[in-house]
Amino acid sequence: MVVDVKNGTFGAAATETTDWAAAADASAVAAIDAFASGTKASSGFSAAGLGAISKTGRTQLRLRFSQNQAATAYIFLGQGAGATLTLTYK
């Protein structure tokens, strides 16, 4: 999986079905290696990804598969339970 960044939002501030096709300001700025269970951290953001982050307003991130999948592939992120976003400023 890879992470795309939008300075602002891909559409509305909420997640929408049209977000997947909306243009990102920076694409594939970080990667999350395949895993079957447990937790996984992304790689660090590229320079383009860091540059696309708003310092004064909203920034929206999109997770997507880097290649079209030949078989069914899912990732489930449970609301409030399983997903944690941790930001580290340097």
1 vs 32: CA distance, rounded Å: 5
**How does strand 26-31 pair with strand 59-64?**
unpaired
pLDDT of res. 8: 92
Residues across the chain: 90
Which pLDDT tens digit goes with each residue over 24-81? Answer: 999 999 998 877 777 777 888 999 999 999 999 999 998 888 877 777 666 666 665 5
Domain boundaries, the chain: 2-64
Does the pLDDT of residue 84 top 70, yes or no? no
Alpha helices in 1-90 (DSSP H): 47-51
Which pLDDT tens digit goes with each residue over 11-24? Answer: 888 888 888 889 99
CA dist list (Å): 13 to 23, 53, 70, 87? 15, 15, 31, 20
Provide the whole-model pTM. Answer: 0.76
Tokens of 67: 């290649």
58 vs 70: CA distance, rounded Å: 34
pLDDT of res. 82: 59
